[in-house]
Structure 1
Amino acid sequence: MAKPLELINVKDLTICESTAQMITKARNDGVELFFDRANSMKACPIGEKSACCKMCSMGPCRMNVNSPYDRVGVCGATVDTIVARNFGRMVAGGTAAHTDHGMAMLELFRDVISGKTKDYSIKDPIKLMEIAASLDIVTEGRELKDIAMDLYHELERTYTQVDGEIPMMKRVPPKTLEHWRAAGVVPRGAMREIMEMMHRTAMGVDQDYENITKQITRTALADGWGGSMVSTDISDILFGTPSPVEVEVDMGVLKEDSVNIIVHGHEPNLLESMVVSVADPTLLEAAKNAGAKGINLVGMCCSGLEALSRHGLSHAGNFSSTEAVLVTGAIDAMTVDIQCIKQGLQKVADFYDTPFITTNYRAKIEGAQHIQLEEHDPRECTDEIVIKAITRFKNRKKPIQIPRNKTKGVHGFSFEYINYMLGGSFRGSYTPLNENIINGRIRGVAGVVGCTNPRSKQDYSHVELVKELIRNDVLVLQTGCSQMALAKAGLTGPGAAALAGPGLAEVCETVGMPPVLGLGSCVDNSRILIAASEMVKVGGLGDCIADLPAAGCAPEWMSEKAIAIGHYFVASGVYTVFGHNFPMTKGTKFEKHLFEDLETLGFGKWGFADDPREMARLMIAHIDKKRKELGIDKARDRVLMDMADRQALAIE
């Protein structure tokens, strides 16, 4: 273990008490976690500002981040070209991740329709019909299977089309789409946009940061309104559209007397099959014969959020806790599929004798066991995982230490449920939301999303930012690891309305909802886009998404996916603030282009702050600006918490 780490107080690493306990235990056990590695691996100050070019072997060329225009690369590339290229490649990488995920879900949908895959089925035919109708597919008088196959072929164009507009453009507010067309940024097809983004950023191709930004925008829109949106819609059609359910979260959901299985990743089909396997009478009997009271299936990260929203499955924690949960010694198997899987999990699992199992052909890990999940027979994989977990339970050797912390909250909000929640079964509508924004009870709407990062205190910025927002009557929509940060802090339960400002609290109490609405995994940010589009459609808040009193934030972002998400919100018209750091060289023309010029061109814009209260200030100021432009501004003071206020907000 690196000596400098021993000087870092655990309280400076996380506000998650369970994770803090496990960091301490890991140190005592001599096990290195990613918090340790982050401390010993210092970030390159040039790479952190994205001022290093590695596009050819003439470099790498490293710019001077303190005086960015005092040199150019060997080929003559300026700092603006270099930073824009790097930013574009991050967007391409994030878009590729969501696009590949979405295409895999679409292929599963095709195989279910054709009968090739029989273990999954269409759970929400109503949503299938609604999506088909929104894309102008004829539904009246036709068989569901025929409509589904037409929908498959239409959505396939999202990925493979080389010209024209992707199908989901039909769901974009007309004025927003008109602006995109005029700007030349409507995506043609995800594969085409990713390919062109990578080509343009190769050595000697596009060397105009404004022109590069146009392709960045088109690529990002292919994610938010393409790959991600298709993934969410198909997941809902196959596995059911979420509706609110009360769920327990945090490591206290683990049970010492049961076989504990953690599923971590992003594709819901693994967890859906695991749900069936752990309920199999033969496997339950085997667990009891091994001395267990039962099988305890628990989610982590985004696939955990999928099952939490659809099945009320308990959730143990977010990205920063995935190694720490193994330190409990209580995990009898951890199985993973794709995205946000630390390679370091394998060594931690090995130390605690936990089977660590990969299941997806795209994501193998050296030293891990691999059991391939085949969609046409998923139980072959998931039953074997359960058997391995039962064997490990029977032969447990490591001491068990399970934190007692767990919190209940309400999760599983979707665009459809919010529509029902606000208007009822027969008059479902976003009109009450718009009306309460117009009359000032709700100041605006904020999407707080994204990852956790060991270079930030885990969960701190998410929790403190959201407390500031709801205190100032801003309704918060939540996805991804951020949702778990808020859930552990008690902000997704009905009692959290007591922490909201008087206007938002009144709405929450009337409707019976928390001031923080958990929408699902990080790919489900597309639900926020559809909600924003509906707010525009309902009327009274402008003609396009850029008019809405809304803002977004990823306080502890970590991955390329987060940059792609951030930019598709900016491209859609949303002011989007990132925290802890930003891949940008300050004082450059490209920085000004993203942080100022895009807004003047009719898009949203980027923002940055490293303190959650400053993030809140920036977001609320933007919301108030939009209220003023809409003529619905009212005299009101923004309330920031002092230390006494903050101490009073502790939730039991």
Structure 2
Amino acid sequence: MAEETKLKKVVVADKEVKAEKAAKVADPVGASIDIATQQMIRRAQELGIDTVFDRAEAMKPCNIGIQGTCCKNCSMGPCRLPLTKSAGDGPDERKGLCGASANTIAARNFIRMVAGGAAAHSDHGRGVAEVFMAVARGESHDYKIKDVNKLLAIAPHYGVETTVKTDDGQVLDRDVNEIALEVGQKALDEWGKAEGELCYLKRAPQPLYEKWKKAGVLPRNIDREIVEIMHRTHMGVDQDYKNLIKQGTRAALADGWGGSMIATDLQDVLFGTPYPLQSEANLGIMKEDHVNLIIHGHEPILSEMIVAAAQSQEMIDYAKTVGAKGIQLGGICCTGNEILQRHGVPPAGTFLQQELAIITGACDAMVVDIQCVMQNLANVAKCFHTKLITTHRIARMEQENVIHIEFDEHHAMEDAKRIVKMAIDNFQNRKAEVMIPRAKATQIAGFGVESIRYHLGGTFRGDYYTLNDNIINGRIRGIAGVVGCNNARTRHNENHITIVKELIKNDVIVLTTGCNGIACAMEGLLTPETAAVFCGPGLAEVCETVGIPPVLHMGSCVDNSRILLAATEVVKAGGLGNDISDLPAAGSAPEWMSEKAISIGQYFVASGFYTVFGVTFPTTGAPVFQDYLFHELEKIYGGMWDFEIDPIKHAHKMIAHIDKKRKALGIDKARERVLMDMADRMKLSA
């Protein structure tokens, strides 16, 4: 009888625990503004499958860690230094066991995030450079140089000659493979050369380069700056927050003007420079009667081959033998953006939607490479028939149901076809009811420095003068770079969309990358027709005349380097100052969550951009250090950080900064358009 009573108590307790767990699930409408996402959250909850949205409800963030003042860099810690209400009443006496101040701890943590982000992006770039070298050497026959003009354009930045002078004085074009081999070797050297500085730094406006030189932050090589952060932040080394952020700046610049920029350029040479194309976005791109293969991650080396394999007649015919009408590819995160901008492959969703793609029951395979891949994908895949395939040597999962096919560029197509065939073979194994949301939207993506020059300048002028003209005359108020991740600590996509809509309503043209680009596509903001609905009259007029969306999707996370170069082109076009910091421009990461975002933010700030982050900021527990980031950096680089949770206030902080820069340039009053004759145009070109 006692045992029975004991058993009843255990059962009751178990029910109470289950009831408690059941109560801690996300409200689908509160979790996301996107209808497809809401639908899939409900389905997951009905099936008893937990997602990131539910886990965010069940697990709250550490109040001290979120302030950036928890140090665990030695085993005497973690030392936790919470910011109390009385902390501002007198000198800040908080310190760790070793005596490290809150400012030191926050600065160390901050630049370690820079190191993590810079390492992720730059290692991506290194992988691309290694494949580039293999192609140049003729060792990888599945890839080839697709954009010779881009190769010739970047070669001079590495000091590589594109012509050769013969003994008799003739100037001849060098062999493309010779140029590629030399460019590839010099690009790889950027990660570890023993002396000098990064080649691409001088692509920046001269005044900006001189600021970096004066501040002593010119990166020497990519790996060294990341390693030095880890050394400086070891217990008992650098204990001056100003000196720490100086090294964080070096590493961030090595990312933005180094690893990321190299990755973007070499990818363009290998896979083709993006130009605008039409596609769709959201989970509704999946098709019940097709093999659905979702590609997720950040490195396009494998995904390029998967696209080629899936579009081959051989694989299409094979898919029909198992009863499928074809093969539907979809992307998640930045691998999705890479294959979107070059091939029109539609993204199925953002970072927070990766689990939901499997929960549709229609995902026959999900192929992942590196970065932003949730380990819980394996647990979700167990509930369905989905094959989850990891492909990178540095990114594996412990779960037994995960298949690892290590990708090798030397037999790239063979690996790609194996993966596509695995997805096709799995089509008939679907064991759950398929539920694909209908929600999807049309988008125009694939903008870059080259295509913006063409669309805004036309074949006649072919430059950024037209953009500058319209900023000067006030039709375009300014430029905003709105980028970055999703974060489960805020409502999915709400900050992204609210901020972008507020900016374009106030005539600010938006350049976007990463998950912000996907979010804007899902909302329907990436079509020219958007301008008439959401834009102020000036920006709407420009978009209608030129035929572009008010939000220009420029690619993946590493493609933030395109924004840096676009800003440089605006400076070169003239009339808006001599440096990036003079431009009526601002940056934003509304829903950031990744260390990569901190690295991106720091290189944007160090390049002269006012940069606002949302959701949270990892220095709020160290007010003195945060004030240095938010105010003092502007005196050094012309750019500074800011933080604002409220999306409307966030947007208006950016607009206020843009207006401040317009006033400094003397263009704060709108000007009427003047019809220019040929003589006037020739003066502009002089």
Q: Which residue of 2 aligns with 1:402?
A: 436
Q: Given the alignment, which residue of 410, 414, 433 partners 1:376?
A: 410
CA distance in 2, matches of 1:277, 1:602: 47
Q: C-alpha displacement at 1:280, in angstroms?
A: 3.0
Among 464, 473, 483, which residue is 1:449 paired with?
483
Question: Displacement of 1:134 after TM fit?
Answer: 3.6
| CA displacement at 1:6 relative to structure 2 | 5.1
Cα contact 2:385–2:429 (8 A) shared by 1: no
Pick from 300, 304, 309: which aligns with 2:332? 300
Contact 1:572 1:604 in 2 (8 A): yes
Match of 2:135 among 90, 112, 120: 112
Shift of 1:9: 2.2
Is 2:500 the partner of 1:477? Answer: no
Shift of 1:279: 2.4
2:296 is matched with 264
* Alignment match, 1:195: 227
Task: For 1:283-298, list aligned pairs within 5 A.
Answer: 283-298=315-330
Counterpart of 1:542 in structure 2 is: 577
The residue number in structure 1 matching 2:114 is: 91
Moved more, 597-606 or 195-204: 597-606
Residue 599 (structure 2) aligns with: 564
Tell me how far 1:585 sits from its aligned partner: 2.6
The letter of the residue matching 1:268 is P
Secondary structure (helix, strand or coil) at the match of 1:180 reads helix
Q: Structure 2 length as normaliser, TM-score?
A: 0.91
* Deviations 1:15-66 (CA, angstroms, capped at 9, x unpaired): 1111110000000000010111111111000001110011111111111212
- The amino acid that maps onto 1:238 is L
Quick one: which of 56, 66, 73 aligns to 2:96? 73
* Match status 1:50 vs 2:68: yes
Counterpart code for 2:539: L
* Structure 1 letter corresponding to 2:96: G
Shift of residue 635 of structure 1?
Answer: 7.0
The answer to whether the Cα contact below 8 Å between 2:338 and 2:555 also exists between their aligned partners in 1 is yes
For residues 78 and 518 of structure 2, the distance between their equivalents in structure 1, rounded to whole angstroms, comes to: 39
How many equivalent residue pairs? 636
2:461 counterpart SS class: coil
Q: 1:122 aligns with which of 137, 142, 145?
A: 145
Alignment match of 1:414 (pick from 428, 448, 452): 448
Contact 1:247 1:410 in 2 (8 A): yes
Query: Which residue number corresponds to residue 505 of structure 1?
Result: 540
- The counterpart of 1:320, out of the listed 328, 338, 352, is 352
Contact 1:546 1:604 in 2 (8 A): yes
Query: Structure 2 vs 1, CA of residues 81 and 587 (structure 1 numbering), >3 Å: closer, same or farther?
Result: closer
DSSP 3-state at the match of 2:247: helix
Q: Distance in 1 between matches of 2:159 and 2:294?
A: 41
SS at match of 1:606: strand
2:651 aligned residue (594, 598, 616) = 616
Secondary structure of the residue aligned to 1:601 is helix
SS in 2 for 1:256: coil
Work out whether residues 25 and 55 of structure 2, in 8 Å CA contact, stay in contact via their aligned partners in 1.
no
Which residue is 1:574 aligned to? 609
Partner of 1:59: 77
2:562 is the counterpart of 1:527: yes
Q: Deviations over 1:86-135 (max 9, x none)?
A: 00100000000011000000000000000101101101000000011344
Query: Is the CA contact (8 Å cut-off) linking 2:601 and 2:611 kept in structure 1?
Result: yes
Deviations 1:323-346 (A, max 9, x none): 011110000000100000000011
Report the Cα offset of residue 586 of structure 1: 4.5
State the SS of the aligned residue for 2:115. Answer: helix
- 2:217 — aligned with what? 185
2: CA distance, partners of 1:148 / 1:461: 42
For 2:138 and 2:495, the matched residues in 1 are separated by 47
Task: State the alpha-carbon separation in 2 of the partners of residues 285 and 183 from structure 1.
Answer: 60
C-alpha distance in 2, partners of 1:633/1:120? Answer: 50
Conserved? CA contact 2:483–2:516, under 8 Å: yes
What is the correspondence of 1:125-144 to structure 2 with a 5 Å cutoff?
Answer: 125-140=148-163, 141=172, 142-144=174-176
Retained in 2: the 8 A contact 1:364–1:370?
yes
- The alignment partner of 2:32 has SS state of coil
Task: Give the conservation status (yes or no) of the 8 Å contact 1:34–1:454.
Answer: yes
Residues 133 and 157 (structure 1 numbering): CA distance in 2 closer, same or farther, change over 3 Å? same
Counterpart code for 2:393: Y
Percent of pairs identical after alignment?
54
2:125 is equivalent to residue 102 of structure 1 = yes
Post-superposition offset of 1:380: 2.5
- Mapped to 2, the partners of 1:477 and 1:418 lie a distance apart of 11
- Candidates 20, 27, 32, aligned match of 2:45: 27
Q: Partner amino acid for 2:526?
A: T
1:389 maps to which residue?
423
Q: Name structure 2 gaps, 5 residues minimum.
A: 1-17, 164-171, 672-686
**Among candidates 582, 587, 600, match of residue 635 of structure 2:** 600
C-alpha separation in 1, matches of 2:413 and 2:162: 34
Equivalence for 1:642? none
Partner of residue 27, structure 2? 9
CA distance in structure 1 between the partners assigned to 2:484 and 2:124 by the alignment = 17
**Matched residue of 1:514: which SS?**
coil
Q: 2:264 matched to which residue of 1? A: 232
Q: TM-score, normalization: structure 1?
A: 0.96
The aligned amino acid for 1:34 is V
Residues 68 and 622 in structure 2, CA contact (< 8 A), matched pair in contact too: no
Q: CA deviation at 1:426?
A: 5.0
Residue ranges of structure 1 left out of the alignment (5+ in a row): 637-652
Indicate the residue corresponding to 1:458 in structure 2: 492
**Contact residue 51 and residue 82 of structure 1 kept, 8 A:** yes
Structure ID, larger Rg: 2
Secondary structure of 1:425's aligned partner: helix
- Offset from partner CA, 1:439-481 (integer Å, 9 cap, x none): 1111100000000011110000000101100000000000000
Distance 2:22 2:602 in 1: 36
Paired with 2:94 and 2:629, the residues of 1 have a C-alpha distance of 22
- Contact map agreement 1:4 1:40 (CA 8 A) in 2: no
**Distance in 1, Cα, partners of 2:426 & 2:250:** 49
**Aligned-partner SS, 1:445:** strand
Which stretch of the first structure deviates more once superposed, 494-503 or 585-594? 585-594
Q: Is residue 2:476 matched to residue 1:437?
A: no
8 Å CA contact 1:308, 1:315 repeated in 2 = yes
The answer as to whether partners of 1:200 and 1:206 remain within 8 angstroms in 2 is yes
Contact between 2:384 and 2:430, CA under 8 Å: does it hold in 1?
no
State which drifts further: 266-275 or 523-532: 266-275
| Aligned counterparts of 1:289 and 1:138: Cα–Cα separation in 2 | 52
Instruction: Provide closer, same or farther for how the CA distance between residues 458 and 354 of structure 1 changes in structure 2, counting only shifts above 3 A.
Output: same
Q: Which amino acid aligns with 1:555?
A: P
Q: Does 1:357 align with 2:375?
A: no
Alignment partners' CA distance in 1, 2:78 and 2:624: 22
Q: 2:529 aligns with which of 486, 495, 500?
A: 495
CA distance in 2, matches of 1:272, 1:423: 31
Q: Which moved more, 1:245-254 or 1:130-139?
A: 130-139
User: What secondary structure does 1:217 align onto?
Assistant: helix
Q: For 1:164, what is the secondary structure of its paired residue?
A: coil
